[in-house]
Amino acid sequence: MSTSSQAAAIAPAPSIVPGLLLAAAIALVATRVGGWFPLLGAPVAGILMGMIIRNTAGIAPVFRPGLQFSSKTILRWSIVGLGFGLSLQQVARTGAASLTVTLVTVTAAFISAWLLGKWLNIPSRLKTLVGVGTAICGGSAIAAVTPIIKPEEHETAFAISTIFLFDVVGVLTFPMMGHWLGMSDVGFGTWAGTAINDTASVVAAGYSFSNAAGDYGTVVKLTRATLIIPICLGLVAWQMWRNKQAGGTQVNLMRIFPWFILWFVVASAIRSMGLIPEFMDSPLRMTAKFLIVLALTAIGLSSDFRRMKHVGLRPVLLGFGVWMSVTFSSIAVMLAMGIW
């Protein structure tokens, strides 16, 4: 083994500490700003502050490992932490109540992605990525279906950038629109949970509206996220039919399953069994919410707008059209069901 190879082999892994400390420091400021401006809220303040810093001063490479850890791992575990504040009965009741709205919006997303994508002459795999990302759970859903449909790298980048763009728009506009429309906590939680793409963005918008809306919207979104499994299985069947091969495409269910949802349910079960002392309720919720702000701040610090300039107009139009179909179909079903 050469000297350079030996050095590479023994080189320590990049530390997550600098990025973690940076996100935590900005999250503390965002928490204070959210207290001053309740309509903005700490989660949205964290995302905005992170974006501004990232796209003006820039972020040194030393911070990137910690930011990636915060935006993925800490976000998932912060959502699990929210489960300690909700009983299993609440989770089941919320998931069941929102299922009709979820199924309608998912259907609307796929139909509009196919029709609008055909009209805009969008490649088939890019249409699928934007449809799945908008219908289910943003970047996580795109990552899950990528090994199945095998898109080009630029198609994946286009889809993720497009989804992220409208996530930002949703986080910034939904809470204000919800108040303007006179929505209840349940109504807004249902709307945000079924019409905003990424889990992090649903959490940010929900808790910016109210704590109750944040709790409700999180459960609705997690219910929606579980649909990634039947969607992936359907895509596998479609790929096999297209390729006319008995086993042309395989999917690893263990890999695509969103495991943090299971741990969220476990946390709720622990709460339901009375295993958490009452004096721990407030500290657990405060910790979970701060970790959410920290994770969302890290997402903002990782958001490079320069990359989005290269997306092009047609994918953006597709993403906007699909998102609008989801947004308004959600409102239509909610009105029909008397959820407001």
Assess if residue 3 is contained within a domain. Answer: no
Taking alpha carbons only, the member of 200, 203, 167 closest to residue 188 is: 203
CA separation for the pair 164, 129 (Å, rounded): 13
| pLDDT confidence of residue 8 | 47
Assess if residue 176 is contained within a domain. Answer: yes
Digitized pLDDT (tens) for each residue of the chain, 340 residues in all:
555 445 445 556 678 899 999 999 999 998 888 778 766 677 777 878 888 898 888 888 899 999 888 877 887 787 777 777 767 777 777 777 788 888 898 889 889 988 988 898 888 888 888 888 888 777 667 766 766 777 775 676 677 777 777 888 888 899 999 999 999 999 999 999 988 887 778 888 898 898 889 888 888 888 887 777 677 777 777 766 665 554 555 555 566 566 766 787 788 788 778 777 777 877 887 887 788 788 878 878 877 767 656 656 777 888 889 889 989 999 999 999 888 8
**Do 249 and 243 form a contact (C-beta atoms < 8 A)?**
yes
Tokens of 282: 């407030």
Assess if residue 218 is contained within a domain. Answer: yes
Assess if residue 12 is contained within a domain. Answer: no
- Number of structural domains, the chain? 1
Assess if residue 82 is contained within a domain. Answer: yes
Q: What residue numbers bound the domain in which 169 lies?
A: 17-337
Assess if residue 43 is contained within a domain. Answer: yes
CA separation for the pair 214, 209 (Å, rounded): 7
Threshold 0.85, pTM exceeds: no
CA separation for the pair 302, 58 (Å, rounded): 10
Q: Is 6 buried (19+), middle (13-18) or exposed (0-12) by CB count in 10 A?
A: exposed
Assess if residue 11 is contained within a domain. Answer: no
| pLDDT confidence of residue 7 | 46
CA distances from 120 to 116, 134, 190, 314 (A): 6, 17, 31, 7
Assess if residue 10 is contained within a domain. Answer: no
